[in-house]
């Protein structure tokens, strides 16, 4: 299957209100261009240097999403152009993004990453840490970041029911926070969950952003 036919097929799977983030990490700019030509505009990258190199050579109207673990000292490189940062997992990171965003006079949309998997290696806030952070009210003081929702990853397992349970946990937390703290903030509307192997489950559990790489671009060579 070609990149463009995979994208067309995926788009047919996505309900209205769910967007596709084409995860192009480790794939060359030519692959991005092919996806772009078939109409794709949102791309996800997980390494700052790779992202910055691609931005220079790819079409200017691409929306770049940062989906990796962001190191504090690299924030300033992506803040001038990034359109969504998916993996914010601490208040200090959010504060640093806010600081750089202020210098750029931009408001950066961010998602709080919540840990719902059973593995120990995944990054993210626990549901309680996430709830406490939002409840603290401190987000309102960070004028140059806006939390648009939550992001999470399910366990790497064949067990479909476990994956469903983990996505469901994230959706329940999203709905709770939305109801309790964001009633007057329509920009709290994104739930980023689902990858190549589990996006159909994520969609059925309420995902609004699926992050799909290998299904579109093939296997990555690290």
Ligand X SMILES: *Cc1c(COP(=O)(O)O)cnc(C)c1O
Cα torsion 178, 204, 47, 155: sign: positive
Q: Could you tell me which stretch among 123-131, 165-173, 176-184, 191-199 binds ligand X (CB under 6 A)?
A: 191-199
Quote the CA–CA distance of 138 and 109 in Å, as a whole number. 16
* Burial annotation 72-87 (CB, 10 A radius, 16+ → b, else e): eebbbebbeebebbbb
For residue 116, the minimal CB distance to ligand X (Å) is 13
Q: Could you tell me which stretch among 2-10, 55-63, 171-179, 207-215 binds ligand X (CB under 6 A)?
A: 207-215
For residue 87, the minimal CB distance to ligand X (Å) is 7
67 near ligand X, judged by CB under 6 A: yes
- Total binding residues toward ligand X, as defined by CB under 6 A: 13
Alpha helices in the chain (DSSP H): 3-13, 29-37, 48-57, 75-78, 91-104, 127-135, 160-181, 199-204, 214-217
27 near ligand X, judged by CB under 6 A: no
For residue 69, the minimal CB distance to ligand X (Å) is 9
Nearer of residues 185 and 197 to ligand X, judged by Cβ: 197
For residue 33, the minimal CB distance to ligand X (Å) is 19
Quote the CA–CA distance of 7 and 24 in Å, as a whole number. 13
């Amino acid at each position: 299957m070609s990149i463009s036919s995979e994208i067309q097929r995926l788009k047919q799977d996505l309900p209205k209100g769910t967007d596709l983030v084409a995860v192009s990490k480790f794939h060359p700019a030519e692959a991005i261009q092919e996806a772009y030509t078939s109409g794709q505009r949102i791309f996800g990258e997980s390494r700052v240097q790779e992202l910055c190199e691609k931005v220079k050579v790819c079409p200017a109207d691409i929306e770049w999403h940062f989906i990796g673990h962001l190191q504090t000292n690299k924030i300033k490189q992506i803040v001038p152009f990034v359109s969504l940062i998916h993996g914010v997992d601490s208040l200090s990171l959010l504060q640093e993004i806010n600081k750089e965003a202020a210098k750029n006079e931009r408001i950066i949309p961010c998602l709080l990453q919540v840990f719902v998997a059973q593995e120990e290696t995944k990054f993210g806030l626990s549901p309680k840490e996430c709830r406490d952070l939002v409840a603290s009210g401190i987000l309102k003081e960070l004028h140059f970041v806006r939390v648009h929702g939550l992001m999470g990853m399910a366990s790497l397992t064949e067990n479909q029911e476990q994956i469903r349970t983990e996505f469901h946990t994230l959706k329940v937390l999203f709905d709770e926070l939305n109801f309790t703290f964001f009633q007057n903030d329509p920009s709290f509307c994104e739930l980023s969950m689902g990858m190549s192997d589990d996006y159909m489950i994520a969609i059925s559990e309420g995902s609004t952003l699926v992050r799909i790489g290998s299904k579109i671009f093939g296997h990555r060579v690290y």
